[in-house]
């Protein structure tokens, strides 16, 4: 074992050579403080978003032609159990934005009326202002159908 210093508090710590990294810490609290912007504003590194990084370092990688080629290669390869996407965005959200004529606000939820996640016709989409409103709508729907089922059981055939 070798002795190294904790990069945050300076205490001596014992590590095997394979455990020595660029930064070594005696405990998780020292590591957290070292990586925290609040405790270590000068050592904190904010990495740029990968999209910006890629544009700077490899501007020929994600051209519209390459994006289209990758999209077409992936189309139809899934199991069909989730929402369809168009260039990384859910298609139903794009259709809803076209329906209302503006971008969706953060928190707005798009609901498929018939329950088919792949039916993205504007007439099948309902927009809720929040997830809470969406849940309330489902609760009312559940109440309605449970009352209907109770009446069916009571009524003679």
**pLDDT for res 152:** 60
- What does the alpha-carbon distance between residue 151 and residue 140 come to, in Å, rounded to a whole number? 17
Q: Report pLDDT for 9.
A: 92
Answer whether residue 149 shows pLDDT above 90.
Answer: no
Average pLDDT estimate for 12-23: 89
pLDDT of residue 63: 83
- The mean per-residue pLDDT over the stretch 7-12 comes to 92
Match 């501007």 to its residue by tokens.
59
Taking the C-alpha atoms of residue 81 and residue 68, their distance in angstroms, rounded to an integer, is 23
Report the distance separating Cα 102 and Cα 94, nearest Å.
10
Query: pLDDT digits over 87-102, tens only?
Result: 889 999 999 999 999 9
What is the spatial distance between Cα 43 and Cα 7, in angstroms, rounded to a whole number? 11
DSSP-derived secondary structure for the chain: -EEEE-TTT--EEEE-GGG--SS--SSHHHHHHHH-TTT-TTT---PPPHHHHHHHH-TTTT-HHHHHHHHHHHTT-S-S-S--EETTEEHHHHHHHHHHTSPPPTT-EEEETTS-TT---GGGEEEESSHHHHHHHHHHHHHHHHHHHHHHHHS--
Greatest Cα pair distance, the chain, in angstroms, is: 84
Q: Hey, where are the domains in the chain?
A: 2-35, 89-157
Is the pLDDT assigned to residue 157 strictly greater than 60?
no
pLDDT tens per residue across span 39-81: 888 776 666 677 777 777 777 777 888 889 988 898 888 887 8
14 falls in which pLDDT band (50, 70, 90)? very high
Structure tokens at 138: 């489902």
């Amino acid at each position: 074992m070798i002795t190294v210093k904790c990069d945050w508090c300076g205490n001596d710590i014992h590590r095997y050579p394979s455990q020595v990294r660029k930064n070594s810490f005696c405990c998780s609290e020292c590591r957290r403080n070292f990586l925290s912007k609040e405790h270590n504003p000068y050592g904190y590194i904010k990495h740029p978003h990968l999209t910006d990084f890629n544009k700077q370092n490899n501007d020929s990688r994600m051209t519209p032609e390459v994006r289209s080629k990758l999209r077409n290669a992936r189309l139809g390869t899934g199991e069909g159990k989730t929402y369809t996407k168009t260039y990384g965005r859910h298609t139903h959200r794009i259709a809803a934005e076209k329906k209302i004529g503006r971008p969706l606000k953060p928190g707005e939820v798009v609901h498929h009326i018939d329950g088919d996640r792949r039916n993205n016709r504007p007439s099948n989409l309902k927009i809720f202002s929040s997830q809470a409103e969406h849940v309330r709508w489902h609760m009312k729907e559940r109440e309605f159908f449970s009352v209907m089922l109770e009446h069916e059981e009571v009524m003679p055939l």
